[in-house]
């Protein structure tokens, strides 16, 4: 249990930066209106084509590559997928330098897809939740650099001056340019914090449930609406409470939908429990990311009713990984890679 608690131990430095960013809005960049938006729907039927993509972790170029391979975007990076639904299962941020570019692309494609009759479902992963809770241990220098401006040196100096004298020397060494700006951007009213807090953690399309980590038996009886409303509340109205005791929140606990690895790691004897999860969810299949599938290939379990699609897109994190996508057309589930396709279920595959 100690290791779990350590996972959420927030360094004093980052707590101080977060606190300072909350009161330095004019100095660290734009914020958005606090006016609540209607929560997005989480259940969809009669979708002809679904493309699901797992963890990106700042691997922007590979993400673009797989979107083009699946013909969802054209050479100009514009939406070309028509009425297709793209489901991105979270963990866009951390571990790689270009996470901001990937979020910006997803935001833009959301609007373009809607105009074409399609849809982009960007889901919250555990790393988005960590970012919103103030845990930056997996942020890379390139991610901070993406938030630098011509005023970043001044922002850093002003922040250090606001801190006790005995902390200033250490802060001067530890605070990277862009860190304060990025922290502000992921706060509840920040440019990205407000956007991410409006996303779902789980969606169901054509009877297939998509989420980042997995559904544990303890959570499986909750509907997608109940899960999404709880995670949204814990990261917004109840944010301080969640930061103080994350491990009792649905958002951050080990068997919650963003962190649970049991569907990928439990032994085969878990199959009856998995079938009960499907029954509880009124689902025909579940698609998860979060746990990297060996060999850079999409894997299936439990009679081709669980699909594990995190294939290690970020090479700095998974050297032998690659970008991939899962295509669903009716009952046919197909893995798509840059160099080929593989039917995993349906179409006569047993």
Q: What is the CATH number of the domain that holds 208?
A: 3.60.21.10
**Do 172 and 301 share a domain, yes or no?**
no
Instruction: State how far the Cα of 125 lies from the Cα of 150, in Å rounded to an integer.
Output: 31
Quick one: 101 and 44 in the same domain? yes
Domains held by the chain: number: 2
Domain span including residue 155 = 1-30+145-185
Same domain, 122 and 56: yes
Q: Please tell me whether residues 108 and 212 are part of one structural domain.
A: yes
For 327, the token pair is: 């295509």
In the numeric block, which tokens belong to residue 248?
A: 């009792």
Residue 91 lies in a domain: yes
Confidence at residue 340, expressed as pLDDT on a 0 to 100 scale: 96
Q: Which residues pair with 286 in a beta bridge?
A: 209, 306
- Strand 43-44 and strand 332-337: the pairing is unpaired
Query: 259 and 296: one domain?
Result: yes
> Collapsing DSSP states into helix, strand and coil, what is residue 325?
strand
Would residue 350 count as lying in a domain? no
* Cβ contacts of 253 within 8 Å, gap of 6 or more: 246, 247, 259
Same domain, 57 and 165: no
**One domain for residues 238 and 271:** yes
Residues 206 and 114 in one domain: yes
pLDDT tens by residue, the chain, 350 residues: 233 333 433 345 656 666 665 555 455 556 665 445 677 899 999 999 999 999 999 999 999 999 999 999 999 999 999 999 999 999 999 999 999 999 999 999 999 999 999 999 999 999 999 999 999 999 999 999 999 999 999 999 999 999 999 989 999 999 999 999 999 999 999 999 999 999 999 999 999 999 999 999 999 999 999 999 999 999 999 999 999 999 999 999 999 999 999 999 999 999 999 999 999 999 999 999 999 998 999 999 999 999 999 999 999 999 999 999 999 999 999 999 999 999 999 865 44
Same domain, 54 and 179: no
- In this structure, the answer to whether residues 78 and 169 fall within a common structural domain is no
Question: What pLDDT, on the 0 to 100 scale, is given for residue 4?
Answer: 34
* pLDDT given at position 41: 94
Instruction: Please tell me whether residue 346 adopts helix, strand or coil conformation.
Output: strand
**Domain annotation covers residue 93:** yes
Residue 2 lies in a domain: yes
Q: Is residue 216 situated within a structural domain? A: yes
- Same domain assignment for residues 73 and 157: no
Query: Quick one: pLDDT at residue 11?
Result: 47
Contact 101, 136 (CB under 8 A): no
Are 164 and 258 members of one domain? no
Q: Which of 154, 185, 216 is the last residue of a domain?
A: 185
CA–CA dist 194, 128 (Å, integer): 12
Contact 345, 300 (CB under 8 A): yes
Which pLDDT score, from 0 to 100, does residue 275 have? Answer: 98
For residue 135, the model assigns a pLDDT of 93
């Amino acid at each position: 249990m100690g290791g779990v608690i350590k996972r959420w131990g927030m360094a004093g430095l980052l707590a101080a930066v977060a606190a300072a960013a909350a009161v330095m809005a004019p100095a660290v960049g734009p914020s958005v209106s606090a006016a609540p938006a209607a929560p997005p729907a989480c259940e969809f039927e009669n979708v002809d084509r679904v493309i699901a993509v797992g963890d990106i972790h700042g691997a922007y170029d590979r993400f673009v590559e797989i979107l083009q391979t699946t013909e969802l975007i054209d050479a100009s990076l514009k939406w070309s997928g028509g009425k297709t639904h793209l489901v991105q299962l979270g963990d866009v941020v951390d571990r790689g330098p270009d996470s901001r570019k990937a979020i910006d692309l997803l935001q833009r494609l959301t609007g373009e897809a809607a105009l074409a009759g399609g849809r982009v479902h960007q889901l919250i992963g555990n790393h988005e939740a960590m970012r919103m809770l103030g845990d930056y241990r997996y942020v890379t220098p390139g991610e901070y650099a993406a938030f630098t401006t011509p005023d970043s040196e001044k922002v850093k100096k002003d922040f250090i001056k606001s801190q006790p004298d005995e902390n200033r020397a250490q802060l001067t060494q530890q605070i990277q340019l862009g860190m304060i700006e990025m922290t502000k951007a992921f706060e509840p009213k920040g440019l990205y914090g407000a956007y991410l807090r409006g996303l779902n953690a789980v969606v169901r399309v054509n009877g297939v449930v998509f989420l980042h980590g997995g559904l544990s038996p303890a959570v499986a009886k909750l509907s997608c609406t109940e899960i999404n409303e709880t995670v949204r509340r814990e990261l917004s109205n109840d944010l301080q409470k969640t930061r103080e005791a994350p491990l009792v929140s649905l958002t951050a606990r080990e068997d919650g939908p963003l962190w649970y690895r049991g569907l990928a790691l439990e032994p085969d004897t878990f199959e009856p429990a998995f079938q009960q999860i499907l029954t509880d969810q009124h689902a025909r299949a579940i698609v998860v990311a979060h746990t990297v599938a060996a060999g850079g290939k999409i894997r299936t379990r439990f009679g081709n009713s669980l699909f594990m699609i995190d294939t290690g897109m970020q090479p700095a994190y998974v050297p032998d990984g690659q970008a991939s996508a899962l295509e669903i057309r009716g009952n046919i589930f197909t893995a798509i890679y840059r160099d080929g396709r593989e039917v995993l279920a349906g179409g006569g595959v047993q």
